[in-house]
Structure 1
Amino acid sequence: MDIATLKAQESTLQWPSFGAEDALTLGLILLDMGRAASLPIAINIRTANQTLFHAALPGAAPLNDLWALRKSNTVLKYHMSSLHVGERMRASGKGFAIEGLSETEHAAHGGSFPIRLHSGLVVAAVTVSGLPQVDDHALVVAAIEKALAA
């Protein structure tokens, strides 16, 4: 996916406000989408300090929880989707090490997206892990679009 598309998603998929009830609504949308397609995914919505929603569907592995944490750490650090960070890193040939960050704690793979308010403030990250990275990203984007349209 190209960087311009990722930037456009991040600039348009913004929330007027976001709290625990919104996290529950978004998490349940992802849960319903995952169940409907029998996807082996882990779903996580978190702030820097608190998990607001977490679920694992049949077929998801414990490793998916670790991937979700690493991808959401990336979003909360860079305030961009984890796929966007990955595409930028691949384009520049630079990785986390250049910024003193560990790949054991961060992942530049798609599937985590910032929960950004209209004010520009990033307050949380929503993450899916278990599919190919572009599919993880697409599922999260589709769920956010559905939540924002409701």
Structure 2
Amino acid sequence: MTDAPEDIADLIAAVQDQERRLVLEHFTHDDAWALGSLVVGLARDRGLSVTVDITRGQQQLFHSALAGTAAHNDVWIARKVATVRELGTSSFLAGLQARARGEAFEDAPWIDATRMAGHGGAFPITVAGAGVVGTLTVSGLPQAEDHALAVEALELFLAR
């Protein structure tokens, strides 16, 4: 853990700001398809090998695995989604907050590391007045890039 405390604090603040800003008015099955297709389009345009997953509640509404991905991406997605469902924050923020405390996320006594992961890529889908209703998850890139692609897609989706 070589990050300076102020760097981690700044990154935590930036991710918390993203979570406050990226709030939808509604989230339907059609919205999931449009958002998932947007992420896949961005990934294809950039030649990225990622798996994209969108849930609402316990239901998977969108899933696409691009060339170069493997079944282990689905395992990572499940662990990242479990983190968002359990904590109500992005999986990236959960990992950053543990690092800021000088801990590894998976070493916390209340974390089942076979079920959860504090690695970037799962972002909460939040609806105004309803709270966190689902997840947008990207797997296949370094964790900060998985997170950034999910955030970029949500920003573009909201701008439509």
Could you say whether these structures have the same fold, taking a TM-score greater than 0.5 normalized by the shorter chain as the test? yes
Residues 18-70 of structure 1: per-residue CA shift (max 9 Å, x gap): 11111101000011011111111000001331101000000011101110111
Q: Give 4+ residue runs of structure 1 displaced > 4 Å after superposition.
A: none
Task: Please give the TM-score of this superposition, normalised by the length of structure 1.
Answer: 0.94
Give the % identical residues.
40
Partners in 1 of 2:106 and 2:133 — Cα distance?
22
Higher-Rg structure is 2
Which of 75, 78, 81 is 1:72 aligned to?
A: 81
Shift of 1:118: 1.6
Partners in 2 of 1:104 and 1:87 — Cα distance?
19
Shift of 1:97: 5.2
Shift of 1:90: 0.9
What is the match of residue 60 of structure 2? Answer: 51
1:138 aligned partner, one-letter code: A
Residues 98-124 of structure 1: per-residue CA shift (max 9 Å, x gap): 452311110000011000112251000
- Aligned residues between the structures: 150
Unaligned runs of at least 5 residues, structure 2: 1-7
Task: Please give the TM-score of this superposition, normalised by the length of structure 2.
Answer: 0.89
Q: SS where residue 52 of structure 1 aligns?
A: strand
Unaligned runs of at least 5 residues, structure 1: none
Shift of the 50–10 alpha-carbon distance from structure 1 to 2, 3 Å rule, reads same
What's the Cα RMSD here?
Answer: 1.4
